[in-house]
Amino acid sequence: MRLALVIALIAIFLTCVGCSKQQAELGTKENPIKMAMVPSLDTQRLLVSGKQLETLLEKRTGYEFETSVPTTYTAVVEAMSVGKVDVGWLPPLSYVLAHDKYGVEAILVVQRDGSTNYNSVIIARTDSKIDKLEDLKGKKFAYGDVLSTSGYIYPRHLIRTSGYNPDTFFSNAVQLGRHDVVIAAVLNEQVDAGAVYGGPVSDARENLVEVQPDIMKITKIIARSEDIPNDTVSVRKGLPKEMVDKIRDALIDIAESGEGKRIITDLYGIDGLKPAKDSDYDCVRRVAEAEKVDLSKLK
């Protein structure tokens, strides 16, 4: 009886050791590298492009990947904080929060229109009588996600530095999450104007050209924020350096290849990836501080 018990305990021990060993082998089919995209655009579209990118990453690194698009920006940050996401495509404010609170590190900055900076732009319908920021006083306005740099923090800062209080400037202000939803609200006259991302050449409206071919004529930009450093590709604290280096180098290589360039363009309108460092995002910290955003209390 005792012998049988000892044998059973040994079997359980060996099974647990095997499970631990298997779990530790990050990058295998049993424990793939988890990569997540923030839901700034249509989730299904991001997931399709993300899965295509996943395939190219697997070929170049030898690791297995699993891609997801959580429901909010916060969900990506929180998942990285507990090791449920290893690689996150984070916008600037989300990155600053993730770094300062959880030790997440930026390894790459995305490039659009040949630039690593972009802006928050405020759009309105062309047929409206709204031509400049002051025309929005008392109007209905749409922000993006509360952790969206160009959809929330920077437009608030733009309004404040233009001499207005963003908390009282509008008759009603709503947070709609995704940039495409903000644009749709402007198009459908549910709001008078909204904040989305824009660059030196293009902006978020171009993602809706297929469903609304004349969107660039129907809407117009009435205000533009100061420059913002572009989105990041970031890794969670504790991800092995060898793995981080392989992922970074593979992504740069993919961004320079024909198929890869098409995929990352479809993903977030990206045309390149460049090495990044945390200090590149100090300007975002400055704006967040000016807007009294307490990063330690954000989730």
Count the domains in the chain: 2
Tell whether 88 and 121 lie within a shared domain: no
Tell whether 108 and 235 lie within a shared domain: yes
Inter-axis angle of helices 258-268 and 241-256, nearest 10:
100
Tell whether 130 and 276 lie within a shared domain: no
Tell whether 166 and 88 lie within a shared domain: no
Residue 10 inside a domain? The answer is no
Q: Which residues of 257-275 are buried (b: 16+ CB within 10 A; e: fewer)?
A: eeebeebbebbbbbebbee
8 A C-beta contact, residue 137 and residue 129: no
Residue 8 inside a domain? The answer is no
Tell whether 132 and 264 lie within a shared domain: no
User: For residues 171 and 143, what is the distance between their CA atoms, to the nearest angstrom?
Assistant: 14
Last residue in a domain, options 190, 205, 228: 228
Residue 214 inside a domain? The answer is yes
Tell whether 166 and 219 lie within a shared domain: yes
Residue 11 inside a domain? The answer is no
Residue 271 inside a domain? The answer is yes
Last residue in a domain, options 228, 256, 271: 228
User: For residues 13 and 46, what is the distance between their CA atoms, to the nearest angstrom?
Assistant: 42
Q: Please, is 118 exposed, middle or buried when counting C-beta atoms within 10 Å of its C-beta (0-12, 13-18, 19+)?
A: buried
pLDDT digit string (tens) for the chain, length 299 residues: 454 444 444 444 444 444 444 466 999 999 999 999 998 778 888 999 999 999 999 999 999 999 999 998 899 999 999 999 999 999 999 999 999 999 999 999 999 888 999 999 999 999 999 999 999 999 999 999 887 889 999 999 999 999 999 999 999 999 998 899 999 999 999 999 999 999 888 889 988 898 999 999 999 999 999 999 999 999 999 999 999 999 999 999 999 998 999 999 888 888 899 999 999 999 999 999 998 886 665 55
Task: Report in angstroms the alpha-carbon separations of 275 from 63, 182, 216, 245.
Answer: 21, 31, 32, 11
Residue 15 inside a domain? The answer is no
Q: Which residues contact 181 (CB under 8 A, 6 or more apart)?
A: none
Tell me the CATH number at 170.
3.40.190.10
pLDDT of residue 15: 47
pLDDT of residue 297: 59
Tell whether 104 and 134 lie within a shared domain: no
Last residue in a domain, options 195, 210, 228: 228
pLDDT of residue 298: 56
Tell whether 140 and 220 lie within a shared domain: yes
Residue 1 inside a domain? The answer is no
Task: Report in angstroms the alpha-carbon separations of 267 from 12, 89, 110.
Answer: 45, 11, 11
Residue 14 inside a domain? The answer is no
Structural domain boundaries, residue 290: 26-114+230-297
pLDDT of residue 169: 97
